[in-house]
Structure 1
Amino acid sequence: MFVDKAKVYVKGGDGGDGLVAFRREKYVPEGGPAGGDGGRGGDVIFRVDEGLRTLVDFRYQKHFKAQRGEKGRNKTQHGASAEHMIVRVPPGTVVVDDDTHEVIADLTRQGQQVVIAKGGRGGRGNTRFVTINNPAPEIAERGEEGVERWVVLELKVMADIGLVGFPSVGKSTILSVVSGARPKIGAYHFTTITPNLGVVDVGDGRSFVMADLPGLIEGAHQGVGLGHEFLRHVERTRAIIHVIDMSASEGRDPFDDWLKINEEMKLYNVKLEDRPQFIAANKMDVPEAAEHLAVFKQKLAETGKQYEIFPISAVTKDGVQELLYKVADLLETIPEMPLIEDLADVEERKVYRLEKKVDNEFTISRDNEAYVVEGEGIERLFKRTNFSTHEGQLRFARILRKMGIDQALREKGATDGTIVRICDFEFEFVEHE
């Protein structure tokens, strides 16, 4: 089963909670705080594995959650960080954020990897909060939550040569006679509905990978027919063999076919217009084909464009070997992998800025009688605060005052006893004398 698109949920592991603990040893009076930090949660990492060819595994497993870090330990021992979760993907996988539609990563090389969901940091133990005024704090932080998101995986077949053309022009037959691939061949449209790959042995020690791509029809750039399912794979090919039914067995004009296919590729992505292209005039074993080829060459000359035309017959194999030699010669002169997206190397890009500085800005709004405080910094502080201890509650209130939230609430009209909501919890606003 060939699957070239999947949507999955990923979540980095939560950080372990910090510990409140004190040294209690014989002959060591007032031993002081000894609570360690929690361990970091594991990251979800996508790594390229050349042994995979499709995204079929993601049809059966759609959720990937890394383990959380261990809690802090006594005697100032840190909790162990969780191991990262490695998710194997085939080469040619593009990872897109489902919410923002931003391309997160473009994974093409064996072993290439990228962090898709980073694990949360571990909470600090009470040894981290020692001050001159408070030498024995009973404060510890909860672990930070790991990043969670839905991502869409799109597989773009990576082949040196892509066979393109209208349905039933002979693309699958060509692939079957030049390689060991055995694509489905039938006398009806859209026999090929998924890409087929084959390794072509030119015969002089050279070889390359050829892809038989699903047939294209007019309007494909808008998703008509197989549309985008076809065109996304064309982007990965280094060169194109445009297969034309020169016998006009379907009743279409061969030159009109050639114009329409090129226009669809151009409308989908203008850069495909500059992709090296050979024209394979197929079905030359049919008597009418020679006449059609002469007309085709004349019309092509009138456009001023220059393309090499190879009269071939996939059935009799006439002209096929000459085409393969020319293709192999071309591949030796062009870059190994032109990426249409023009993405920089993923290892040199900041793919996902998870360690960004926390924004301490906040907003205050009214919800009936309650004042709702919202902001990235305050919500993150709230999630990491351990409210089970009195000192933890006092620290939270102290930070709110330093951020100016108390004063802002007063200016909005909050008085003693007013309900204040942060995240899903409500508190009473208390005026301190």
Structure 2
Amino acid sequence: MKFVDEAEIHVAAGSGGNGCVSFRREKFIPFGGPDGGDGGNGGSVWLVADENLNTLIDFRHQRRFRAQRGENGMSRQMTGRNGEDVRITVPVGTVVVNVETGETIGDLTAHGQELMVARGGDGGRGNINFKSSTNRAPRRATPGWEGEQRTLQLELKLLADVGLLGFPNAGKSTFIRAVSAATPKVADYPFTTLAPKLGVVSIEPHKSFVIADIPGLIEGAADGAGLGIQFLRHVQRNRLLLHLVDLAPMDGSDPAEQVRAIERELEQFDPELLGRPRWLVLNKADLLPEEERQARAEAVVAELGWTAPWFLASAISREGTWLVAQKAYDFLDSFRVRAQEAKDVSEDVRFGSGELQPPPGTVDH
């Protein structure tokens, strides 16, 4: 299926039904007083995250969504029926932005999560609401409120634990094939990967993580060059970045300078990305004589002044790739442990140390 990670849609909630002006008229009760009911509320528009979707391509065919209007109020104090809501399914990882204001309305990061993007209008009030001691026969009712309308920009950010960075042809697609069951296209020309691919790396039963093959970046990507910034957003969700670099580029370019070029693009797009844990994977070691590989790798690391973990690997022959995958899992596992400990500490602070105490103001019976 074609990957589409941006879409613009227009949503319109239903307006509320109008209030009713009516008077009770029955045999022997010629002046029964007002009995006009309220209008029903208009339907709202919701976005619902669905883990079974991985693209926004459906919005290329349908861009406008409108919820049902509420029914008008009726006599005998009958309230109009509420309009039905509209629920639109989107992939998990969708960010919703109001086009008119640029405001981020919400971020759908879990399966089944719902987000109201347009609220239905309230129903108008019938004339029974305006009866008073001085006005026994009001002929006043209010119309329903208009439902909200918005133009929304949907942006899909992949939810992956590990993201692969690197220039086109750095070997990212081959690497993800080596460590997971994903089968992205592999060829010896730039921009083989035109859409992000996800793979699940299984270390052993019940121990796995998700890795994303992100299309290659070039200098100027943050300004839209090459494949532009449309794929840079995907690295913002990764807990760990694996920076792949060709240890023996065919054009004779400097691997260290390629690393610096990617770093400049990350910093320009989002300075926080440079602070994200990032490991260096010196790939395509098989293209060098065995006695030269280690020395060449150490020279690149020294030139960069690299202090984070680094690995020597060959994705095509799978040398060193499994070690990277195992170390990545250990890192992610420790990250989860630290996150749980922080959560536990937060709960202790909230309820007091030692045994959990009930919140203030509650009574223990």
Q: TM-score, normalised by structure 2?
A: 0.88
Deviations 1:137-164 (A, max 9, x none): 1211111110001010000011111111
Superposition map of 1:152-171 within 5 A: 152-171=153-172
Q: Secondary structure at the match of 2:256?
A: helix
Deviations 1:236-282 (A, max 9, x none): 11111111100122322111111111221122111111111121111
Q: Indicate yes or no: 2:22 matched with 1:45.
A: no
Match of 2:180? 179
Match of 2:348? none
Q: Secondary structure at the match of 2:334?
A: coil
Match of 2:22? 21
Deviations 1:62-115 (A, max 9, x none): 011100111101101111111221111111110001011111101101121121
Q: What is the CA distance between 1:49 and its match in structure 2? A: 1.1
Cα distance between partner residues in 2 of 1:335 and 1:187: 37
Q: Secondary structure at the match of 1:262?
A: helix
Contact conserved, 1:19 with 1:126, CA < 8 A, in 2? yes
Q: Secondary structure at the match of 1:285?
A: helix
Cα distance between partner residues in 2 of 1:289 and 1:170: 19
Cα distance between partner residues in 2 of 1:160 and 1:193: 20
Cα distance between partner residues in 1 of 2:291 and 2:36: 86
Deviations 1:193-250 (A, max 9, x none): 1101111112464111111100000111111111211210011111111111001223
Distance change in 2, residues 1:268/1:123 (3 Å): same
Cα distance between partner residues in 2 of 1:11 and 1:335: 40
Q: What is the CA distance between 1:38 and its match in structure 2? A: 0.1
Q: What is the CA distance between 1:300 and its match in structure 2? A: 3.4
**What is the letter of the counterpart of residue 40 of structure 2?**
G
Cα distance between partner residues in 1 of 2:242 and 2:304: 19
Match of 1:248? 249
Cα distance between partner residues in 2 of 1:210 and 1:303: 25
Q: What is the CA distance between 1:287 and its match in structure 2? A: 1.9
Cα distance between partner residues in 1 of 2:291 and 2:193: 27
Q: Secondary structure at the match of 2:160?
A: coil
Q: What is the CA distance between 1:335 and its match in structure 2? A: 4.8
**What is the letter of the counterpart of residue 224 of structure 1?**
A
Match of 1:199? 200
Distance change in 2, residues 1:324/1:70 (3 Å): same
Q: Secondary structure at the match of 2:231?
A: helix
Match of 1:258? 259
Deviations 1:14-40 (A, max 9, x none): 100111111111122310011000000
Q: Indicate yes or no: 2:260 matched with 1:273.
A: no
Contact conserved, 1:192 with 1:214, CA < 8 A, in 2? yes
Contact conserved, 2:256 with 2:304, CA < 8 A, in 1? no
**What is the letter of the counterpart of residue 153 of structure 1?**
L
Match of 1:328? 329
Match of 1:63? 64
Cα distance between partner residues in 2 of 1:64 and 1:138: 36
Cα distance between partner residues in 2 of 1:30 and 1:68: 33
Contact conserved, 1:47 with 1:111, CA < 8 A, in 2? yes
Distance change in 2, residues 1:259/1:288 (3 Å): farther
Match of 2:355? none
Match of 1:234? 235
Range with greater deviation from structure 2 (164-173 or 83-92): 83-92
Deviations 1:377-414 (A, max 9, x none): xxxxxxxxxxxxxxxxxxxxxxxxxxxxxxxxxxxxxx
Match of 1:3? 4
Match of 2:73? 72
**What is the letter of the counterpart of residue 67 of structure 1?**
Q
Compare CA radii of gyration and give the structure with the larger one.
1
Q: CA RMSD in A?
A: 1.8
Superposition map of 1:389-408 within 5 A: none
Q: Secondary structure at the match of 2:68?
A: coil
Contact conserved, 1:97 with 1:104, CA < 8 A, in 2? yes
Distance change in 2, residues 1:250/1:229 (3 Å): farther
Contact conserved, 1:247 with 1:288, CA < 8 A, in 2? no
**What is the letter of the counterpart of residue 139 of structure 1?**
R
Runs of 4+ in 1 over 2 A off after TM superposition: 131-134, 288-305
**What is the letter of the counterpart of residue 144 of structure 2?**
G
Contact conserved, 1:125 with 1:139, CA < 8 A, in 2? yes
Match of 1:285? 286
Q: What is the CA distance between 1:295 and its match in structure 2? A: 4.6
Superposition map of 1:361-380 within 5 A: none
Contact conserved, 2:121 with 2:148, CA < 8 A, in 1? yes
Cα distance between partner residues in 1 of 2:285 and 2:41: 66
Range with greater deviation from structure 2 (290-299 or 191-200): 290-299
Distance change in 2, residues 1:246/1:232 (3 Å): same
- What is the identity percentage for the equivalent residue pairs of Structure 1 and Structure 2? 46
Cα distance between partner residues in 1 of 2:269 and 2:101: 21
* Unmatched 5+ stretches in structure 2: 340-365
Contact conserved, 2:279 with 2:308, CA < 8 A, in 1? yes
Distance change in 2, residues 1:302/1:192 (3 Å): closer
Deviations 1:334-354 (A, max 9, x none): 259x9xxxxxxxxxxxxxxxx
Contact conserved, 1:11 with 1:66, CA < 8 A, in 2? yes
Distance change in 2, residues 1:299/1:82 (3 Å): same
Contact conserved, 2:17 with 2:143, CA < 8 A, in 1? yes
Contact conserved, 2:46 with 2:118, CA < 8 A, in 1? yes
Q: Secondary structure at the match of 1:46?
A: strand
Q: How many residues align?
A: 337
Q: TM-score, normalised by structure 1?
A: 0.75
Q: Indicate yes or no: 2:136 matched with 1:135.
A: yes
Match of 1:118? 119
Q: What is the CA distance between 1:302 and its match in structure 2? A: 5.6
